[in-house]
Every structure is written in structure tokens, then in C-alpha cells.
Amino acid sequence: MGRWLTGIVVVLQLLLAPPLHAAVEQPQGGVVRLGGEAILTVQSAAGAQSPERLALHLSNEITSLAEDYSFDPARISTKADPPYVMVGITGSDGTFKPLMAVDERAAALAKTSQSELAKHDARAIQTGIKRYRVQRTPGAWLRGTAVALLVLLGYVLLLQLERRLNQRARGWLGRKASRRLPNITLAGNRLISRAHIQRSLQLGRAVLHWAALAAISYLMLPLLLSFFPPTMGLAADLREQMLMAVNQLWDGVLNVVPNLIALVVIGAVTTALFKLNRRVFKALETEQIRFEWFYPEWALPTARITTILITAAGLALALPYIPGSTSRAFQGAGVFLGILAALGSSAIATNILSGLMLIYTRGFREGDRVEINGIVGTVQERALLVTRILTPRHELVSIPNAMVIANPVTNYNLASRELGQPVAVNACITIGYDVPWRQVHALLLEAASTIDGICHDPAPNVVQTSLNDWHVSYELDARIDDANQYRTILSLLLAAIQDSFADAGVEILSPAYEVQREGIGLTIPPRGSNPR
């Protein structure tokens, strides 16, 4: 029964260990051991001896006495021998053999009197010798073996239970969790997908599984060793190491908790600012909130900029609370990233600043038809670094913002949107002097009136731009409703002009038409070839 109680006490010491600091706190001085177990602490040695050397000497002496079964532990007694109180062995003839001396300094350290401390040390030696002998009886060996077998059986059952729990956790993460896990987003952007979270959880489960197996095995090892006298000392050392590791871990957790609380608070405030930022600029974009100086198209890029600023502020506030942020490795990584940023920041910064200038000068927006450096098309994306234009041939052209800001930008939609003046298409032709100019005006206006998409208010108009050597230059200007249909409407208008002049029998001489003439006929299509 005593061995059973010993095993229970060991388990409670390992798993509960009420005050961790007291459990692992190493006493000052030397420790007297018997069979690997500490039975007495020597805090001060009389004379010039050190507590450690005295403790080693006492350990050897007491071990010899314990192994001599003819020796009666009751012979350990005390004797006053001023200025000391001696702890020693009383012989059958009344002689006294001292083992150690207790002086006033040792009593002061123990906060008791010399005689009381000496009696306490004598009782500790007696108890240690008795326990040492009891633990090494055949019956104690048999009981220890039986209890060890029961502990091994419990160990196997515990491993089986842990294995089943691990299998269930793996199945749950594989089936149900894949449907319930959310995607982690930041400012509307998906940072971590559900699949990544699931794989991370599975990895954490595997790590926890093997850590649990290692912890169970490590806890069982000193418990099994404590049932056999030769390994009791090793078991005691292992228990001390475990409790010391637990104490260090607990201290680390206690030190990290305030930092974790600070990180949680910073994360919560940053998340709240992200939501507020998104809602405010969404309201500005939809004009639920209006300011005379703020345009709706500024909402999305400004929201992105404020998101970057909020993120940077959150990281700056959280950095001191991140574990390891003061380590040399962390600082070295920061220096490396700073060097990379410095090397590549010149061109990037130029394009970013140019992109911001384009946004806030409102030169164009997504969906506008523009001409930039000879490239005509519809703006598909206006990013901080590049502007992407889709040409009429469905070619997506990326232009660095630094190049955009350095070249003139023609926006075909801006005047219609801001000033209410739709963009005009124009067609220039040259007609010979033999054709009356009023007839040319009428034919051009007739051609413009047949095209859908040309505005009637303001109405198309014709101007004569020059009187050349052989012909007169005429320009037709017509406003269109949709600037994105500029190319299509211009093509239809030119075709209508050709048809109109062909029907009237008027020859178009533009831009500088030359033909080998024989003095007869005009260079216009035959009447039957005109589908109109």
C-alpha cells in the first residue's frame, strides 16, 4: 500500500505541483542524498568547510550506515558542545561520534534555535535510513514491479485514447471544418483562404499529437523509475528537470500574456478602423456623404491609401509586443528588407507619386476613352504603378504612370461628363472648285444625319479650312453621345460621306487624289455599285 501511495504522490507532484516556484526552487547550500533522494539540506557548515563538501561527506557516511542493517537509526542523536550542537551517533558504551555541527549561523538561516535545528536534522537522517531500507526489501520490489506493470498498462491505454482522439480530430478537420471555416479578409482582400486555414489546422493537429505522445512518455518515465530503488535518484532528478521546465514555460506564458493582450487590442482597433474606413469611403463613392471638394472617383484610391496607412500604423504599434522583435535575427531581417526597399524604391516611388497625381488631378477614370502617347483606347485599370488601356484591337497596353504624367493625355469623355459638351468626330475631305460649296455642305450634313449616335443638339456643322491649288478643304464636325463609340461612328460617317457624294455624282479629291485621266468620266463608283 505504501508504494501505491508513493506513486500517487509522485503523479500529483508532476501534474499539479501547486506552487511551481517553490517546487523547483533550489535551496542554498549542499543537499545530503541517500539512494538518490534528498533527505537534508546543509545551509551552513561550521569552521572552514563548505556546505557542499559537508553534504557530500554526510551522504557517504549515511549511505554506509543505511546499508549496515545492524545499525539502529535510533542511535542518531544530538549533543550540546558549545558553541555548537552536534548531530552524531551514540555508541552502546555511551560514546558519541559526531557527524555534523550546527552553529549559530545555520540556526539563523533556518530561523530557529541550534538545538531545534539539530533535532530536525537528526530526525531527517533517521527517517531517510528507515525509508531507504524499506524501499529495498523483497516485498517492496514486488510491489514496485506490480505497480509499474499497472502504470505501463495505463500508459498503453492512454496512448490508445490519444490516438483515437487524434483520428477523430483529423476526420473532423477534413470533413466538417472545410465547410465551416471562413476566409480571412483584410479591407475586402482575401489574405488567407479556407484551404490554407484547413492545412494549417491539420499541421497543428499533427504537431500537437506528437507533442502529446512525447509529453506522456516523458511523464511516465520518472514515474516508472521511481518504483525501483536503483533508479529512484534518477527519477527525482528527472522530476526536478520537468518541474523546472514547466516553471520556465509558465513564466514565459505569464510574461507573454500582457503582450498578447496588447496585440489583441491593437488588432481589434485596427479591424474596427478598417471597417469604418471602408464604410465611409463607400458612402462617399455612392454620394451618400457629399463634400464639395471631394469627388466620388477619389473614394476608392483614397480608401486604399488610408488602408495602407492604417496597416502601417497598426504594425508600428504592434511591433514592440511581437515575441522576438528585439532579437538580432529580427533586426537583421529588418535591415535586409530596408536595403531591398532602398534599392528598388526610386522607380517605384516615382510611379506611385505619378499615380497619385493622376488620381487627384482627375485626368481620367476607368472606362474613359483616352489617347496617351499615341495609344488610343479605353482605360481598364488605374493603379498606383501603371495605367492599363484596352485598344480597339483588344490589345491591353500597360503604361507606367511616370510616362503617363510626362505626356499629354486626351480624354474623350471628360468634357461630356464635366461640362456637358459631348466630344466631336470630324471628317476632312477636299472637293474641286467646280462643285459649289453649298452643295458640298448639304451633302456632308446629309451624310451626318443618317448616322445613329450623332447628336442633333448641337447640330453637325461644316467649315471650309483652306483653299488649295486644285481643291477646297472641308471639315465636318459632329458631336456624338458615347465617346467609347468614337471609332465605330467615325467609320460609319466616312462611309456615309462616300455614299452621299457618289449618289450626287461629286468626286472626292482628298487627301491628294491623282489619276491618269483621258479627259472623260469621273473617278466615282458607278451608280449601280452603291447599295443605297
| Tens digits of residue pLDDT in 443-490 | 999 999 888 888 888 889 999 999 988 889 999 999 888 888 888 889
Give Cβ neighbours of residue 96 (< 8 Å, ≥ 6 apart): 77, 79, 86, 88, 89, 90
Interhelix angle 232-285/299-318, rounded to 10 degrees, is 160
CA pair distance 321, 266, nearest whole angstrom: 10
Which stretches of 136-231 are DSSP H helices?
138-175, 177-180, 194-225
> Which pLDDT belongs to residue 532?
45
Residue type, 304: R
DSSP state of 365: -
Does this model's pTM top 0.85? no
> Which pLDDT belongs to residue 231?
67
**Which of 357, 369, 356 has the alpha carbon at shortest distance from 411?**
369
> Which pLDDT belongs to residue 48?
66
Domains of the chain: 2-136 (no CATH), 267-342 (no CATH), 361-417 (2.30.30.60), 422-529 (3.30.70.100)
> Which pLDDT belongs to residue 19?
37
Segments of the chain scoring below 50 in pLDDT? 1-27, 528-532
> Which pLDDT belongs to residue 21?
36
> Which pLDDT belongs to residue 473?
92
pLDDT digits (tens, 9 = 90+) for 367-376: 888 888 888 8
CA pair distance 15, 12, nearest whole angstrom: 5
Give Cβ neighbours of residue 395 (< 8 Å, ≥ 6 apart): 377
Residue type, 426: N
CA pair distance 252, 250, nearest whole angstrom: 5
Cell of 44: 551552513
